A = this chain, B = another copy of it.
């Protein structure tokens, strides 16, 4: 368990409190046969006799002697999860009574004082014991009770210590921790940003909640800060994307006078320094975007297993290691993929849009892996196996889906082309062939970081925004201007903290590593946010609801 404190640090755990000991402190052999006092929650109780007190550090049994009649009656009526105070003599249990399932199963408190500090309602909506997990909707509604479960204590405490290690590493390497604003203005060409109305100018003026500190960190480089980091809260209005959150956290970095190689080296050492296990044997191979697409049909391949896409002149195929019985179930709903039982091959005829075929096979590859693991008992992905991978050499621009003569940034508009390709900007037909200095870090099939070396030449940046991407440049005039004042070459990266923690802690949903997450459609089930506001408040911002454009 990550979160249990060593008892040697007990002087710190109870300083600044009137509690004498945490439960874990009681493991100190010097305390046996002395009077101890602990505070916590009533986890179990047997008749009037025994109780188990829990705090975040552990469990301890306590016994009420027959003489304490009144307090035994109180114990019998104390609801589980009430906040209680127990004082008594710490004793070794008789050999025959030792509970080997409990860390402190060899100890018990012979109570001299038992007090209910704050009684709990008798019916608990959330199961606190670790054996059963309540439905997630209930857990989110009663998050404060969900926190009392061991696994949630562990996750949230691990998150704190992981972030502390990240900070320690970066501060040691001369990074400066700089807070940037959340209330900002719209950045064109990115995700949808929340808007925040203001009272200024009789209405109509809005902040946008910053979707990332991208512009600020570049401006900090122009300002000579050289090495910036921030554990940054970011906001995106992505209603309806189930594993996204309207606010999320990234480890945000930017450095001046760096190459891609410098960033790779930095991130690799940062990850190794902060990982809970030693990552000595782990490597960080690189794959070009083109190769990733060709072999895995995705730009974030899970390389813990093979099942790579094979190419022939007419077809793409994936070979199953063993015969598949109900192949139709597996390719259910996709009439394009055929199964050749003789060769154990799943086949797809190439079409004009080979990219789409590859993506289809990439998705199929993951389904096949699931089926092989679940129904055929073939272990493709081991627990605590970490396959990192850098994806490099992305195209700088991607043709837009609805009009392929127009382009959007594959990464974002501030990514620089590789030096050898700068000259290709002058000819529109070359735009799709420009390679960008963008890089993603992939872990076990998830993108956990993305970054790039940035454009620091104002005229190139202006050309990319104006001529290639055709974005409304007036929103970015300040950044273009800043580049004209001796901006240094710079680059950076952002690591998705929530996803990284979900992977490290082997939980499927990022909601499990966020203290107060929202549901997939952005609702806080505990406080019932978002909620209606009064008309007077809308009036203050010169707003009214208008559904006619819905």
Q: Which residues of A are in contact with B by a Cβ distance under 8 Å? A: 5, 9, 12-13, 15-19, 39, 41-42, 55-56, 79, 81-83, 117-121, 124, 142-148, 152-153, 156-157, 159-160, 163-164, 167, 171-174, 176-186, 192, 194-200, 202-209, 215-216, 219-220, 222-226, 233, 235, 237, 239, 246-247, 249, 255-259, 262-263, 265-266, 456-457, 475, 478, 482-489, 514-516, 518, 521-524, 526-533, 537, 539-547, 549-550
CA distance A256 to B16 in the complex (A): 10
With A202-B547, A522-B198 known to touch, is A147 a contact of B225 (CB < 8 Å)?
yes
- Would B515 and A220 count as touching, CB distance under 8 A? yes
Q: Is the CB of B184 within 8 A of A156?
A: no
Report yes or no: B118 in contact with A195, Cβ–Cβ below 8 A.
no
Would A541 and B195 be within 8 Å (CB), given that A117-B488, A258-B18 are in contact? yes
- Residues of B near A222 (CB, < 8 A) are 144-145, 147
User: Would you give the shortest CB distance from A364 to chain B, in whole angstroms?
Assistant: 33
B-side contacts of A15, CB under 8 Å: 173
30 A-B contact pairs sorted by A residue (CB < 8 Å): A12-B174, A17-B255, A17-B256, A41-B224, A79-B486, A118-B457, A118-B489, A124-B485, A144-B219, A144-B220, A144-B223, A152-B223, A159-B177, A160-B171, A167-B167, A180-B515, A181-B247, A182-B182, A183-B246, A186-B533, A195-B197, A197-B197, A202-B547, A203-B547, A206-B530, A206-B531, A207-B530, A216-B515, A219-B516, A543-B543
Count of chain copies: 2
Q: Please state if A224 and B173 are interface contacts (CB–CB under 8 Å).
A: no
Q: Could you tell me the distance between the alpha carbons of A186 and B537 in the complex, rounded to whole angstroms?
A: 11
Question: Nearest-CB distance from A125 to chain B (Å)?
Answer: 9
Contacts of A489 in B (CB 8 A): 83, 117-118
* A147 pairs with B550, CB closer than 8 A: no
Residue contact A194 to B196, C-beta cutoff 8 Å: yes
> With A255-B16, A478-B526, A484-B120 in contact, do A183 and B546 touch (Cβ < 8 Å)?
no
Contact between B167 and A478 (Cβ–Cβ < 8 Å)?
Answer: no
Contact of A542 among B17, B174, B207, B549 (CB under 8 A): B549
- Contact, CB under 8 Å: B196 / A196: yes
Task: List B contacts of A198 (CB < 8 A).
Answer: 237, 239, 522, 530
- Bound complex: CA of A466 vs CA of B279, how far in Å? 56
The answer to whether B205 and A530 touch across the interface, beta carbons within 8 angstroms, is yes
Q: Given A15-B173, A160-B176, A266-B16, are A529 and B120 neighbors across the interface (CB < 8 Å)?
A: no
Q: What chain B residues lie within 8 Å of A486 (beta carbons)?
A: 41-42, 79, 81-83, 118-120
**How long is the Cα–Cα vector from A542 to B195 in the complex, in angstroms?**
12
A488 partner residues in chain B, CB cutoff 8 A: 39, 83, 117-118
Contact of A524 among B181, B225, B457, B542 (CB under 8 A): B181
A483–B215 alpha-carbon span in the complex (Å): 43
Residues in chain B near residue A546, CB distance under 8 A: 203, 539, 542-544
CA distance A39 to B142 in the complex (A): 55
Least Cβ–Cβ distance between A197 and chain B, in angstroms: 7
Q: Which residue of B lies closest to A526 (CB)?
A: B478
CA distance A257 to B21 in the complex (A): 11
Q: Which of A9, A202, A544 gathers the greatest number of chain B CB atoms within 10 Å? A: A544
B531 and A185 contacting across the interface, CB-CB below 8 Å: yes
Docked Cα-Cα span, A177 to B456, in Å, equals 36
Please name 18 further chain A to chain B contacts, defined as beta carbons within 8 Å, in addition to the given A152-B223, A159-B178, A183-B518, sorted by A numbering.
Answer: A16-B258, A19-B257, A83-B489, A118-B456, A118-B457, A147-B224, A153-B225, A156-B176, A194-B196, A194-B197, A195-B196, A198-B237, A200-B239, A205-B532, A215-B527, A216-B516, A542-B547, A544-B546
